A and B are shown apart, each in its own frame.
Chain A
Amino acid sequence: MNSIVCLKQVPDTEAQILATPDGSDVKLDGVKFIISPYDEYGIEEALLQKEKAGGGEVTLVSMGPARAVEAIRTGLAMGADKAVHLDDEAFNGSDAQAAAKALAAQIKGMQYDIIYCGRQAIDDDQSQVGPALAELLGLPHTSLVTKVEVAADKKSVKVNRQIVGGEEILEIPLPCVLTCQKGLNEPRYASLPGIMKAKKKPLQPVKAAEIGIDAGTVGAAGSGTRVVKFTAPPTRTSAKIISGESPEEKAANLAKALREEAKAI
């Protein structure tokens, strides 16, 4: 069972994100970075399926600046076998669709049964790369997967997928793309021996030209959308504290305020 896991390095969920004074970008200096949490479910699932199958390889593919190496090494320390790092200025400014193009160009020539993506990266929050990547590679996909069962003949996979008010159980022929949702598994931590081993695992840097990408089709030039301005969302200035002598009185005053003042009920 050979798997590819697409991985993105993103700011920690705890990080405060601020815009630059002119609003043209966000300030990321001093911010701690992590593997996007949904991608960790992908790594874990790939490792579990490899263990279950008793063999195969898990390859990480990540597009990002030089600092992304740290996240890739963490993924290798969790147990992935090798990694490819798409690191080229030509990729800068790629929107989600352009990122999917770059990943597809890299993955096209590789050997795999399943490609795992997170359901979304928690910085851009687009949820686009998984389905777009599948389309570009001509593969079927399923998003928001919470359970994966590979058929005995290894020709298809049965997955559970979250839908509105319930779930679907689907059968997909391999190879395919799955996007991972919370609930799929509990990602393991990188062990100390894992971290030592990860330092020696192959991590191949790749430039756009090496995978036959014309620079005009990725990066800012190849993107159909462009962020022109970042602003901080409006903040609530101060809460109205509901007064009352007892919990019951506070409850009554709250109900009244919601009805008469906020007109929310």
Chain B
Amino acid sequence: MGKGIFVVTVPDQGTIRKVAFEILSEARKIATAKSEPLCAVIIGKGVAALAGKFAPYGADKVYVVENDLLENYTADGYAKALADLITREQPSIVLAGATVVGKDLMPKVAARINAGMAADCTAIGLDGDAFTVKRYMYSGKMIADVKFQADKVAIATIRPNVLIAAAPDASKSAEVVNVAAEVSAADIRVKVLEVVKGDAGKVDLTEAEVIVSGGRGMKDASGYGILEDLAKVLGATVGASRAAVDAGWRPVSDQVGQTGKVVSANLYIACGISGAIQHYAGMGTSKVIVAINKDGEAPILSKCDYAVIDDLFKVVPPLTEEIRKLKAD
């Protein structure tokens, strides 16, 4: 084994998710240390136009895996296309973003080719010749150092917003290998009947760089208006605590925490959130955490970087204005 470090991307409506560049940048170091080629793998229909996006982040080679049947993501179709490529090329490790697609696709591929797999990792490295990753367990309450066993292909999905994308070098180029995926209609058993897009401009919480989140202190659904305003000036995504979701103020897809989404933002602003262990578990790896809470005893105040102890309804609107001014400068 050991014929390359693979970084797999499934483009979403013609765009590549940022996590792909974050992974490539980190994987470049490992590929160099192991003297193995760094290969980007892009899967879909009509995705060849994106092949040039990877070399600036260090890819030596780009596999463009296409088939008309891969127009919509299906676990069946994509797993077959990717597993066939892995079986043929025998990379030593296959990396992908821990996105909704990555989390669905990679465990199936791992089972298909009998690989070892670790999901939602926050670091990748080497211990001698063996691949290692770090990942959170117990919803952020524990960090596990995981070592891959040498007798299997290694697969890891990587949490978005954790690794740092290098500055792209436009002078770099990569060999492009076109692969016609052998997928037939019979392989794809799940039929996509309809795709219902919500707010198209909304960045998913798991990939958001800035999050403004509200909890029980928002009092009701209409309270979120001031958070939406703050989010707009920050280019942020609005999140919610479990209490707010259970009260019906926000949809389930907005929930941050142990039984919601695990996020890792550059800036996380928690408004009216007490900071129960389950909530912290879902956002504790964010780089800068701000709490705005009128309760000076709220647990979140001991787990954040900046705290404003005051009525959030009086603090958030002027904060929005201040940030608007700063951003205009």
Contacts and interface: CB of A to CB of B under 8 A. Distances in A.
Contacts of B210: 264-265
A240 B103 contact: no
Contacts of A252: 318, 322
A97 B116 contact: yes
Interface string A114-146: 000000001111111111111110001111101
Given A127-B103, A223-B149, A224-B154, A135 B111 contact: yes
A108 to B, nearest CB: 14
Given A165-B204, A168-B195, A264-B288, A132 B116 contact: no
B43 to A, nearest CB: 16
Interface in B105-155: 105, 107-108, 110-112, 114-120, 132, 135-149, 151-152, 154
A226 interface: yes
A143 B143 CA distance: 25
B278 interface: yes
Contact of A264 (B267, B284, B319): B267
B307 interface: yes
Given A144-B100, A166-B197, A232 B108 contact: no
A189 interface: no
Contacts of B47: none
A231 to B, nearest CB: 5
A232 B210 CA distance: 25
Contacts of A133: 111
B326 interface: yes
Contacts of A192: none
B82 to A, nearest CB: 12
Contacts of A223: 116, 149
Nearest to B320: A251
A168 B194 CA distance: 6
B199 A165 contact: yes
Contacts of A250: 308, 310, 315
A171 B190 contact: yes
B259 A13 contact: yes
Interface string A83-95: 0000000000001
B276 to A, nearest CB: 8
Interface residues of B, number: 97
B272 to A, nearest CB: 14
A19 B75 CA distance: 36
A233 B140 contact: yes
Interface of B is mostly: mixed
Interface in A217-242: 223-233, 235-236, 238-242
A26 interface: yes
Contact of A170 (B99, B192, B207, B278): B192
Interface stretch (A43-51, A66-74, A156-164, A193-201): A156-164
Interface residues of A, number: 83
Nearest to B326: A259
A258 B154 CA distance: 40
Most central of A126, A183, A240 by chain B CB within 10 Å = A126
Contacts of B175: none
A247 interface: yes
Contact of A37 (B118, B259, B277, B304): B259
B62 interface: no
Contacts of A107: none
Nearest to B313: A247
B191 A239 contact: no
Among B118, B152, B262, B284, which residue has the most Cβ atoms of chain A within 10 A?
A: B118
B278 A14 contact: yes
B253 interface: yes
19 contacts: A13-B258, A13-B281, A15-B138, A131-B108, A135-B79, A140-B76, A164-B12, A165-B200, A165-B204, A167-B198, A169-B194, A170-B191, A224-B117, A226-B147, A231-B143, A233-B136, A233-B141, A257-B306, A265-B326
Given A123-B137, A168-B194, A227-B146, 15 more contacts: A13-B278, A96-B119, A97-B110, A140-B76, A143-B103, A144-B104, A173-B189, A224-B114, A225-B117, A230-B142, A230-B144, A242-B306, A242-B307, A251-B308, A256-B322
